[in-house]
Amino acid sequence: MGALHSMAHDYEYLRHTLNAMAHRVQTALHESLQTLRRSDAIGAGQIIRDDPDINALQQDIEDLVARFITQWQPLLRDLRRVLAMLAVASELERIGDYARQVATQVRRAHDDNHPLLMVADLLELGALTEHILSSTIAAFLAEDTAAARAIAALDDQVDERRRAITAAIRQAARTDSSLFDAAIASIGITHILERVADRATNIAERAIYLATAIHESLNE
């Protein structure tokens, strides 16, 4: 009983650490969008400086998973759970990188004095990606296959919105060549946000695999 209790304790600690990392990544993404809203180079710089903290959390999870497997030699169901957490930590680390990249674009635009284009639309797209991220994390932690599968339709919405925003930005740059640098940066942000949604969809696929042991692709 004592060993089983200790294994459960270690598993819950691993789950808690993953949840803490997810919260940190969600905060970084949200704050990066706030710097975009305000054209806030100082806030953007803080997000860039904080990114190594997210990387450190991923490394902590890697260490915890390695120790868990070595100590407890879990059977298939528990092994699948901890390996899924390892994979999700990797996806979250990349999303943290994307938050840093948004902040980098904001700071560069501020420093180069070329205001970004269609900021309201970029923020709408960002809000959708935030919703996808929070929903997919909740689906993973709850092993909720229905919620995980619902992410696919949201990801399609991101792709559709990105294409529309990109087309409008390109048209604006064709009309006024002085907007070229701002257009490149703004299109870059749409691509970054699309990648956030893609990584979140990968987490949703892990949630389905965790619950069903079946690999299911949501991102055709």
- For position 220, what pLDDT does the model report? 63
CA-to-CA dists, residue 85 to 18, 48, 62, 78, 200, angstroms: 7, 25, 9, 11, 13
Residue pair 69/82 in contact (Cβ under 8 Å)? The answer is yes
Structure tokens at 120: 């309201």
Task: Note the pLDDT of residue 3.
Answer: 56
Q: Return d(Cα 91, Cα 89) in angstroms, integer.
A: 5
| Integer Cα distance of 118 and 172 in angstroms | 10
Domains in the chain, CATH or no CATH each:
2-212 (1.20.58.220)
Chain position carrying tokens 């459960």:
8
- CA of residue 12 relative to chain centroid, distance: 22
Q: Are the beta carbons of 153 and 204 closer than 8 angstroms?
A: no
A 10 A CB-CB count for 100 gives 22
Q: Which residues of the chain have pLDDT under 70?
A: 1-5, 220
User: Of how many residues is the chain composed?
Assistant: 220
Q: Tokens in use for 159?
A: 């792709």
Tokens 């190594």 map to which residue?
52
Give the chain's end-to-end CA distance (angstroms, integer): 45
The single-letter code of the amino acid at 204 is: A
Vertex 173 angle, CA 28 and 115, to 5°: 40
In the prediction, which pLDDT does 1 show? 46
pTM, two decimal places: 0.95
